């Protein structure tokens, strides 16, 4: 019988370039010679023997023994097996011991604490997001709004009608309720924490055992397909958190899979992250790199997700991360060069073959994370701006009396805002482990905190970069996030909390409607200070604009002091009537102010108005006809942006060159004969060794 995982598959896999590996590895429904069954393929080069045990064979060891078809791959076709069968691999390790393992490539897994894999058919679901996918095909996401709602599905809401401990909603119900809320609020994307299957609830999904399996906590693979499909039908993008840095030590999963360090490093100074108690992926092995690359492609191709947020990038980039003793690279440095090449390879292929991209959760100081690989970068689409998050929260934690001494924390972030393609994040990490919720990062009475939070969100919306906010923080959740309980939605009935919610909702709609806020391709000329040194009054004033003139520009005035400023003067770029289109005060009705021709903040014109305690305002700059010079500059800028996007999505400089042997690319008949001859020889050799 011709092998399902053919010679070309094996060649590509061992060279790390089998991008659709998920179509061959694992358990696949198949018909062979008119007989339906399931074909299993697993990589375990150092195992002595492997068999499939399942509820289909009564969990009987050695009933279905796999065949080793080369030095590393094992295969078996089990006739009569069907979808829904639970199975494991019984692996005989190199030392003769036996262990039951789940399938590294399983499409479906049992709900914890059970650990079996489940045969699944991912081709049955009928997708309805054709229009969404077509729209995203050639879209430059950097020119589009991206306001992300970060969600932990298990604690967004609880189903109080259930009597079980979890009280989880199903993916389908979550799709409807979350989509309704996200659309009403004005978010553009949802980012889901912990979707890849995982055993330990307090890990929130960041200690993964199923890199091709959506967690069973909220339903089946088809249910999750429905979730993504429904989001797309409602114009909402879907981002998944993805963890290629490390994996847990559970005996049934990847750790010491065939009795040796297979997916993890064998070097004890690189094998683990002691701080987390997890294993580190050995990206120096082509097969391990291919496993992760295929996982990334899998979620994009099979589940239509729009982006993957890569967790713990810094841990992968530094050999010393979380380790007291560490192994230098071949040049004696701290950089993990294998991770460098892994990210360059993955990002290059993903962005060239799909409309999806990766987002780096990265706290490193390594430059070029979002630059193309050929320019020395890693090719990520976006990078979390951890510096902005840390600096702004430190400022918020400071009493207004002392904020003048920390004014630079807020202005410094503008200096490097365009060094990378950034996303500003106030994520789940900032509202757990004693850090307090967003509202409790501020000083003063509750009224002061509510006002400060609204000004914080206004400043965030005006700052360059895409946006992300964790669930519950948009209505000023007071307690820290707890993954075991639902959000305190009842707070939305309180006038103060509802005011924060409506304020943030208004800001989201302004952000989506105004290109000067969401188009991040223009560079440094799209953001300029009016007054960055107003530290005594804790006020920040700046302009967001397009690169060629002030048409459609917006002026932000953010007051972080509990003091009212009468006859506040703000420099203005042009003459005319300015409209106040937003205020953090609920009674902030539209206001029109005619600019005075009077020097202010180094500008020719001046706006004068009263600014209340903790109030932030947004003013719309008057429209003026573009000059021929401005029109020419606009054309030049748009041409540059188009060129840069094309270069970023067609960079193959760090893709391994895989020169496929001639006999594997020959005509079909010749290829079949050659493959069959080689495979027969391999099988005979294996049998001889076993005897």
| Residue pair 465/385 in contact by the 8 Å Cβ criterion | yes
Known active-site residue 71? no
Token pair of 21 as six digits: 């590996």
| Residue whose entry in the numeric block shows the structure tokens 């972030």 | 413
Q: CB of 370 within 8 A of CB of 420?
A: yes
Select which of 64, 103, 150, 361 is catalytic. 361
Closest CA to 534 of 424, 477, 611: 611
What's the farthest any 2 CA atoms get from each other in the chain?
96
Helix (H, G, I), strand (E, B) or coil at 539: strand
Catalytic residue among 311, 430, 534, 651: 311
Query: In sequence order, what E strands does 513-611 have?
Result: 527-531, 539-544, 554-559, 565-572, 577-583, 591-594, 605-611
Q: Is the dihedral of CA 625, 628, 630, 636 positive or negative?
A: positive
- Which residues have a Cβ under 8 Å from the Cβ of 174 and sit 6 or more positions away? 153, 156, 218, 227
Question: How many CB atoms lie under 10 A from the CB of residue 65?
Answer: 13
Sheet holding 272-273, edge to edge: 246-247, 278-280, 272-273
Which residues lie below 8 Å from residue 161, measured CB to CB, with a gap of 6+? Answer: none
Helix, coil or strand: residue 319: coil
Q: Is the dihedral of CA 78, 83, 85, 89 positive or negative?
A: positive
- Report in angstroms the alpha-carbon separations of 470 from 192, 388, 473, 648: 10, 16, 6, 29
361 catalytic residue (yes or no) = yes
Interior/surface letters 462-500, b for 16+ CB within 10 angstroms, e for the rest: bbbbbbbbbbbbbbbbbeebebeebbbeebeebebbebb
Residues in the chain: 691
Residue 648 near residue 368, CB atoms below 8 Å: no
Active site residues: 311, 361
């Amino acid at each position: 019988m011709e092998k399902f995982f053919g010679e070309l598959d094996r060649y590509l896999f061992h060279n790390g370039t089998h991008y659709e590996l998920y179509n061959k590895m694992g358990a696949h429904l198949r018909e062979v010679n008119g007989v339906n069954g399931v074909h299993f393929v697993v990589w375990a080069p150092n195992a002595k023997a492997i068999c499939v045990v399942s509820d289909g064979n009564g969990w009987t060891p050695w009933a279905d023994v796999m065949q080793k078809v080369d030095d590393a791959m094992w295969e078996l076709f089990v006739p009569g097996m069907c979808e829904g069968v639970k199975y494991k691999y019984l692996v005989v390790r190199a030392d003769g011991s036996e262990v039951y393992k789940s399938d590294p490539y399983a499409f479906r897994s049992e709900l914890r604490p059970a650990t079996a894999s489940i045969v699944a058919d991912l081709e049955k679901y009928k997708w309805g997001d054709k229009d969404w996918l077509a729209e995203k095909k050639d879209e430059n996401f950097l020119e589009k709004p991206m306001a992300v709602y970060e969600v932990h599905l298990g604690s967004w809401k609880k189903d109080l009608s259930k009597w079980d401990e979890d009280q989880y909603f199903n993916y389908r119900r979550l799709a409807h309720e979350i989509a309704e809320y996200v659309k009403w609020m004005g978010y553009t994307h949802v980012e889901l924490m912990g979707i890849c299957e995982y055993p330990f609830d307090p890990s929130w999904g960041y200690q993964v055992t199923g890199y091709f399996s959506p967690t069973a906590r909220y339903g089946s693979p088809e249910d999750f397909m429905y979730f993504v499909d429904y989001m797309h039908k409602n114009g909402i993008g879907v981002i998944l958190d993805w963890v290629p840095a490390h994996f847990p030590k559970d005996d049934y999963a990847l750790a010491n899979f065939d009795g040796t360090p297979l997916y993890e490093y064998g070097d004890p100074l690189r094998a683990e992250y002691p701080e987390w108690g997890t294993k580190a992926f050995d990206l120096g092995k082509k097969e391990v790199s291919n496993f992760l690359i295929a996982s990334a492609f899998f979620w994009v191709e099979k589940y239509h997700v729009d982006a993957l947020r890569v967790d713990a990038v810094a841990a992968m980039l530094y050999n010393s991360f979380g380790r007291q003793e560490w192994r230098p690279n071949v040049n004696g440095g701290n950089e993990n060069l294998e991770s460098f090449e892994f990210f360059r390879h993955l990002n290059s292929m993903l962005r060239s073959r799909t409309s999806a991209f990766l987002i780096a959760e990265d706290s490193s100081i390594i430059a070029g994370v979002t630059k193309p690989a050929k320019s020395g970068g890693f090719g990520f689409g976006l990078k979390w701006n951890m510096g902005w998050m840390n600096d702004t929260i430190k400022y918020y934690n400071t009493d207004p009396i002392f904020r003048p001494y920390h004014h630079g924390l807020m202005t410094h972030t503008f200096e490097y805002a365009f060094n990378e393609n950034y996303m500003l994040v106030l994520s789940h990490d900032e509202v757990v482990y004693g850090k307090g919720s967003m509202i409790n990062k501020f000083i003063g009475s509750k009224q002061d905190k509510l006002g400060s939070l609204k000004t914080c969100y206004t400043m965030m919306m005006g700052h360059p970069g895409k946006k992300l906010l964790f669930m519950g923080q948009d209505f000023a959740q007071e307690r820290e996030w707890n993954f075991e309980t639902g959000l305190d939605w009842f707070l939305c009935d309180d006038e103060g909390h509802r005011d924060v919610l409506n304020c943030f909702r208004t800001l989201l709609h302004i952000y989506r409607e105004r290109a000067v806020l969401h188009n991040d391709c223009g560079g440094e000329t799209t953001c300029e200070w009016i007054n960055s040194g107003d530290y005594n009054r804790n006020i920040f004033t700046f302009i967001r604009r397009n690169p060629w003139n002030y048409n459609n520009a917006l002026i932000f005035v953010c007051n972080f002091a509990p003091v009212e400023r009468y006859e506040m003067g703000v420099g203005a770029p042009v003459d005319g009537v300015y409209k106040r289109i937003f205020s953090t005060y609920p009674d902030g009705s539209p206001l029109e102010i005619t600019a005075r021709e009077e020097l202010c903040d180094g500008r020719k014109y001046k706006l004068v108005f009263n600014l209340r305690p903790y109030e932030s305002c947004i003013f719309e700059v008057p429209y003026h006809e573009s000059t021929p010079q401005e029109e020419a500059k606009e054309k030049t800028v748009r041409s540059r942006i188009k060129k840069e996007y094309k270069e970023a999505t067609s960079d193959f400089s760090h893709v391994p060159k895989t020169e496929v042997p001639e006999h594997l690319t020959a005509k079909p008949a010749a290829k079949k004969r050659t493959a069959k001859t080689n495979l027969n020889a391999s099988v005979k050799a294996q049998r001889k060794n076993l005897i």
